[in-house]
Structures are given as structure tokens and as C-alpha cells.
Amino acid sequence: MVSSIIQALLNGLVSGTILAVPAIGFTAIFAVLRYPNFAIGSLATIGAYAGWLANVRLGWPLEASFGLAFVGAGIATLAAEWLAVRPLEKSGALMMAICSLAVGIVLENIVRFAFGNEARGFNVPLMRDIRFGDLRMSPQQVENFAVALLLMALLWAALNLTRMGRAMRATADNPDLARLKGVQPGTVAAITVLVGGGLAGIGGMLVALDTAADPLTGFRLILSVFAAAVLGGLGSIPGAVLGALIIGMVEELTVLLLAPNYRTAIGFAVILIVLTVRPSGLFGERAG
């Protein structure tokens, strides 16, 4: 039983790290635009299919395929933002959030029309797991783990060491003050949406690499992503990372301890408890 728990925690650590990538995208968009973009699941699916297209149809290596996953999902997010969500800005965050749900459904069905309903595997060899006694880990998991960590490091560097990153953090902290300091909110918002959506796309591709891409790849992530962001504190990037790690591990542990129909309840329970006990989450509401 002990090794089962350690294995589940290990699996949860990896899936939590992957989950952290779209969770960062989700929380970053919230930090700057102040609404939860529930299309993030479908945008992750777009990323998974863009990566699949690059890798399988165009024969690109994985590194370049990640690039297309990022760009494809980022552009889709920006297009959805400009065409569907932004026109509702004056109606408030709730209407924008509802609109993003609708956008997610539309995007999912566009994927179904374009690619069909079948699961599609990437052109990467399936390798046997590496074993450490009773524990095992797949090389693909290790690679995905490393990619997710690298992305987080790059994002941290971009947010802390570049002018645009500082502008994004300033806008998230205090939009009016940022505007007084000469920050262009429109540009910051566009870049945040592009990067946030792109991260969701890479998250979708990371999941699809380990499993397969199908029209519901991202939909399966949405509750976990939202729970991770709420747990960490909506708008907080370190919070999203920590929240994702906790949710990833808890979800894997529930396989050992609870019937599967309660797994979904875990996400909702986390959201309910956090919003009741500590609405600002583990890391408050500050980005960066």
C-alpha cells in the first residue's frame, strides 16, 4: 500500500506539473482581464491538435510542434477574445465568463468537424517505463515534466526580467496606476491572452503526448485547472502552480481511496472549501 501511495503521488506530481501550464494561462488571463476564461479547456484541445498536425501530418519534431501548439492556441484565444468576449466587456465579468463557456463549446465542435471524434496519437515512440523498485515512471512523463518546468522558468523570467513582463504584472496589480505609468493596457491584454492561450495549448499537447488527442482532451482538464487556480488564488501565478500540484496529487490519490464517481466531486469540493474559507486562495490575488 505504501508503494501504491508513493506511486500515486509521483503520478500526481507529474500530472500536476502538466496541469500547472494551462492553470498559469487561466490565472494570467484572469489577473489582467478580470474574468475566468472557461474556453481554456477547448483552447488546450486546439493546442493538442495543432501540435498533432505539426508532428504527425507535417512531420515536425516535437520542439517545433510545441511551437505550433502555442501559436495555434494563442491565436485562437486572441481571436475568441476580440470577436466574442471583448464586445461584452461592458456587461461585466459574469457575461464574459458565460460567453467564454459558449466559445469553448464552439471551438470543441470545430475540432470535431475538422478532425473527427477519433483519438489521435503523436508520432513518438512509446517507451517502456523506468523502474525504481516498486515504482515506475515513463520517459514521456519525465520529458513532459521537464517541458512544463522549463516553461514555468521561462515565464518567470519573462514576467520578472522583461519590460513587458513587468507591465503585465503592473496591470494585474493595479491597472489604473499602470496606465499612469505609460503602460498600454490594450497591448498588455493582447499579449496576456496570447501567452495564456498559448500555455493552455501546450498543456493540451503535453496531455495528448502522454495519452492521445481527442476533442475532449481539454474539456477533461477544465475542472482541475479551475480548481487549481482557485486553490492557489485566482490571479496568482505561483498559486496556480502550487494549486495544480496539490490537485494533481489529490486526484491520483483518490483512485486508491475513493470510488471514481467522487473524483469530480474533489474538484468541486476544493473550489467550495476555498471560496468559503479563504476566497483569496493560498496566494491571494497578486500575480507574479
Site string for another protein, 221-240 (x = CB under 8 A): x--x----------------
Q: Contact with another protein (CB under 8 A): which of 256, 269, 272, 273?
A: 256
Q: Taking CB under 8 A as the rule, does residue 60 contact another protein?
A: no
128 binding another protein? (CB under 8 A): yes
Q: According to the binding rule CB under 8 A, does residue 8 interact with another protein? A: yes
Contact status, residue 229 vs residue 23, Cβ threshold 8 Å: yes
Of residues 78 and 249, the one with the C-beta less far from another protein = 249
Reduce the secondary structure of 134-200 to three states and give it as a string.
CEEECHHHHHHHHHHHHHHHHHHHHHHHCHHHHHHHHHHHCHHHHHHCCCCHHHHHHHHHHHHHHHH
Indicate which single residue of 133, 261, 276, 277 sits in contact with another protein (rule: CB under 8 A): 261
Nearest to 25 by CA among 136, 137, 110, 100: 100
Is 220 a binding residue for another protein by CB under 8 A? The answer is: yes
Considering only 136, 166, 179, 286, the residue that binds another protein (CB under 8 A) is 136
Q: Is there binding between residue 2 and another protein (CB under 8 A)?
A: no
CB closer to another protein out of 35 and 122: 122
Q: Return the number of other C-beta atoms located less than 10 Å from residue 277's C-beta.
A: 7
Helix (H, G, I), strand (E, B) or coil at 241: helix
User: One-letter amino acid identity for 97?
Assistant: A
Query: Candidates 92-100, 174-182, 207-215, 280-288 — which segment interacts with another protein by CB under 8 A?
Result: 207-215
CA dihedral (168, 173, 177, 181) positive or negative: negative
Q: Out of 180, 259, 276, 277, which residue is the one contacting another protein (CB under 8 A)? A: 259
**Residue found under cell 482532451:** 217
Contact string 13-52 vs another protein (x = CB under 8 A): --x-------------------------------------
Answer for which of 168, 170, 200, 207 binds another protein (CB under 8 A) is 207
Task: Tell me which amino acid residue 33 is.
Answer: L
Residue 42 amino acid letter: S
Distance CA 140, CA 85 (A): 36
**What DSSP line would sit under 86-117, residue for residue?**
GGGGGG-HHHHHHHHHHHHHHHHHHHHHHH-S
Instruction: Choose the binding region for another protein from 70-78, 134-142, 148-156, 226-234 (rule: CB under 8 A).
Output: 134-142
Residue numbers of the site for another protein (CB under 8 A)?
A: 4, 7-8, 11-12, 15, 118-123, 125-129, 136, 138, 140-141, 207, 210-212, 214, 216-217, 219-221, 224, 251-252, 255-256, 259-261, 263-264
